[in-house]
Amino acid sequence: MTTTQEVLPAETSTPVSSGPERRRRSVNALPYGLLVPATAALALALGYPLVRQVVLSFQDFGLAQQFGKPPEWVGLQNYRELVTDSYLWKVVLRSVLFCLANAALTACLGLAVALLMMRMSKVVRIAVQAGLLLAWAMPVVASMTVWTFLFDTQYGIVNWLLTHLGLDFDGHAWLLHPMSFFGVATVIVVWMSVPFVAFTMYAALTQVPEELVEAAEIDGATGGQRFRHVVLPTIRPVLYVVLLLQIIWDLRVFTQIFNLQKAGGVTEQTNLLGTFIYRQGVGGGHFGLASAAAMFMLALAVVMTAPYVRLMLKQEKEA
């Protein structure tokens, strides 16, 4: 656990209550008062919509209601419609697969970069860190325009490069086919996400006790064995947190998919949950149906978040 604590200073720095605080424990209303503004803001902007969304998801709320007709209570019909709609299942499956593939790829590449960073000379390492920071700092929308340009059918450098390598990529339209669309999306998402993983894992790797690795080496462990039996167990808690966060984050890739769709993807074949909900609701006016789909997404997120929250709670209690 020492590694986790080194990398998670915000966690460990929670104060151990000292004398005067303990005395104040039961009598004071002040801390509750201090929490009021934050709680009120969250209740207004998240709590209230959540309640409304639950209600909406049981109503027939379409375009007619948008123009003043009172919404009709339809019970579970929206959910029934969603569950029996094979298109939604396609979208869900697509979202989950995309999320898991991207998270796994990001974690592996991030770890690989971190391991390489341990081995390279200082100058190269500084260059790598500078590059990672640049990619990390880029605003999402700016990254989207550049990557769209890089993969552009006519003027994109990717096509130019592949053509010059002797492949037939002249005028290749990357976004036209769903598989290749998601390939491009994966490249972009992974490019944006690897820096965080690489930095975090590098920080964890620098905490692996040198003596342990040396001792294993003296005992005749090969490089692979040293990694698997000494290094990996030490960094496993951090790797676990990073992977969980990545899964949660990759479930919501609205900006990337939305912008790639505009740049030339076939919307119906490339929708993930976020863009699907958006197009049903804001785009199509089917608010009841969109709300039901959004409830589905919330449930999915909660399921995926649960282990992370449990882990954080454990650390909170230990601190």
Partner 1 sequence: MANRVSPAGRLGANLAGIAIFLVCAFPVYWMVNNSFLPRNKIRNPDPTWVPFGGTLANYRRVLTGGRIWDALSMSLMVTLATVLISLVFAFLAAVAVTRFRFRGRISFILALLVIQMIPVEGLFISQYKMLEGFGLLNTVVGLTIVYVANVLPFTIWTLRGFVAGVPYELEEAAMIDGCSRMQAFFRVTFPLLAPGLVATGVFGFLQAWNEFTLAVVVMTRESKQTLPVWLSVFTDSQKGVDWGAVLAASTIIAVPVIVFFLIVQGRMVSGLTSGAVKG
Where in 63-102 is the site for partner 1 (CB under 8 A)?
none
Per CB under 8 A, the list member of 108, 221, 254, 269 interacting with partner 1 is 254
Regarding 107 and contact with partner 1 (CB under 8 A), the answer is no
Interaction of residue 136 with partner 1, rule CB under 8 A: yes
Q: Are 186 and 260 in contact (CB under 8 A)?
A: no
Q: Does 224 bind partner 1 (CB under 8 A)?
A: no
Assess 117 for contact with partner 1 (CB under 8 A).
yes
| Count of residues engaged in binding partner 1, rule: CB under 8 A | 122
Indicate whether 120 belongs to the interface with partner 1 (CB under 8 A).
yes
Identified binder of partner 1 from the candidate list 76, 83, 97, 124, rule CB under 8 A: 124
Report the C-alpha gap between 229 and 251 in whole angstroms.
Answer: 32
Distance, in Å, from the CA atom of 213 to the CA atom of 180, rounded to the nearest integer, reads 43
- Contact call for residue 318 and partner 1 (CB under 8 A): no
Taking the complex as a whole, how short is the minimal distance between the CB of residue 94 and partner 1, in angstroms?
A: 14
Distance CA 250, CA 102 (A): 7
Pick between residue 31 and residue 220 the one whose CB is nearest to partner 1: 31
Does 45 bind partner 1 (CB under 8 A)? Our answer is yes
Nearer to partner 1, 88 or 238 (CB): 238
CB of 50 to partner 1, least distance (A): 6
Q: How many CB atoms lie within 10 A of CB 10?
A: 7
2 contributes a contact to partner 1 by CB under 8 A: no
Interface of this chain with partner 1, residues 287 to 306, rule: CB under 8 A: 287, 290-291, 294-295, 297-298, 301-302, 305
Half-sphere exposure for 217 (CA within 13 Å, toward CB): 8
The 3-state DSSP class for residue 59 equals strand
Query: Is residue 189 within 8 Å of residue 138, measured between CB atoms?
Result: no
For residue 281, give the nearest of 273, 83, 98 by alpha carbon.
273
Residue 130 makes contact with partner 1 by CB under 8 A: yes
Which residue in 240, 91, 295, 263 sits closest to 174, CA to CA? 263
Give residues 142-171 in contact with partner 1 (rule: CB under 8 A).
Answer: 142-150, 152, 154-155, 157, 160
Interacting span for partner 1 (CB under 8 A) from 48-56, 72-80, 83-91, 173-181? 48-56
Q: Kindly report the number of other CB atoms within 10 A of residue 217's CB atom.
A: 14
Q: 100: which residues sit within 8 A by CB, 6+ positions away?
A: 247, 250
Q: Which of 245, 265, 270, 271 binds partner 1 (CB under 8 A)?
A: 245
By DSSP bridging, strand 72-73 and strand 59-60 are antiparallel
